Amino acid sequence: MRNLIFFFYKYYTFILFFVLELFSFVILYQYNHYQRASFLNYTGGMASGFYETVNSTTNYFGLRNMNDSLMSENARLRSQMLNAYYQNGFTQTSISDTLYKQQYDYISANVVNNSVSKRNNYITIDKGSKHGIKPDMGVIGSNGVVGIVTSVSSHFSTVRSALNANTKISCMVQKNNAFGSLEWNGDDPKFSSLKYVNKHVPITTNDPIVTSNFSMLFPEGLPVGKIYAHSIDASDNFHSIKVELYTDFATLKNVYVIRNIFKDEQQMLQNNLKGDH
């Protein structure tokens, strides 16, 4: 108690000044409309700024969950796209039969490791066999083709990037279905090459390149890139085509792994045909 009295005695001048100052502001606020309005505007702005900061901070820490939710939703929607279905080619009288049957479904994943500057680049994603991923599944991003799954553990998978000299993806020129093989020459990560397109096929700059129906890994018509430049060597039977890729591998964060439900059936049939020869 004595210390409290000593405190007030020592600082009574400051305390008295503070009380009188506070009393003055109360009177000013109470009996002057302009000052009251200014004060309310100021405190309202301060409160709004504070709540906006709190809300932004909360939203930032919730971005990961929101992103995962959006990726899962996108994977579900991609599985419902027309090119994710197999067309039977005929209809029957039974009312339960449909023209289309699901052929592809999609598994969303996040990139946890990536390279773009090597001759043979690989990507690691945070989904594995536990999530239904197997080797030799196609991988795409939101803008285009990414690569092919090569190895899988329980929770992670390694993807052989399209920026890999050993990656060959069956593609075609969208306007005329002229097919070729997308192969990277190890140079610029923004470009690749479309090889084996017959020189008699008419092509022009900016023609879109998409996946072809010859691939068991990707549905037909997925975006790959566009023709950046092309030429024909008189001694060659094929175009020399430089493709500007839609996927920006340097900023790749989210991908979708494609599961072809009919792949094993098709692969087994084709392997049997090889055995006949």
Which H helix or E strand runs over 48?
A: helix 33-61
* Per-residue confidence in pLDDT tens, the chain, 277 aa: 677 777 666 777 877 777 777 777 667 666 666 656 565 556 655 655 665 676 566 655 556 666 666 666 676 666 655 555 544 443 333 333 345 667 888 999 999 999 999 999 999 999 999 999 999 999 999 899 999 999 999 999 999 999 999 999 999 999 999 999 999 998 899 999 999 999 999 999 999 999 998 888 999 999 999 999 999 887 889 999 999 999 999 999 999 999 988 888 878 887 776 656 5
User: Same domain for 24 and 130?
Assistant: no
Closest CA to 217 of 256, 164, 175: 256
Q: The domain that contains 215 carries what CATH number?
A: 2.40.10.340
- Write out the two tokens for 159: 């993807």
* Residue 189, token pair as written in the block: 């990560």
DSSP secondary structure of 195-254: E--BTTS---TT-EEEE-TT-SSS-TT-EEEEEEEEEE-TT-SBEEEEEEESS-GGG--E
Whole-structure pTM over 0.85, yes or no? no
| Structural domain contains residue 86 | no
State the burial class of residue 198 (Cβ atoms within 10 Å of its Cβ: 0-12, 13-18, 19+): exposed
Sign, Cα dihedral of 246, 247, 250, 253: positive
Residue 156 inside a domain? The answer is: yes
Domain boundary among 61, 90, 108: 61
Answer yes or no: do 114 and 188 share one domain: yes
Domain holding 9, by residue range, is 2-61
Q: Is 43 found in the same domain as 169?
A: no
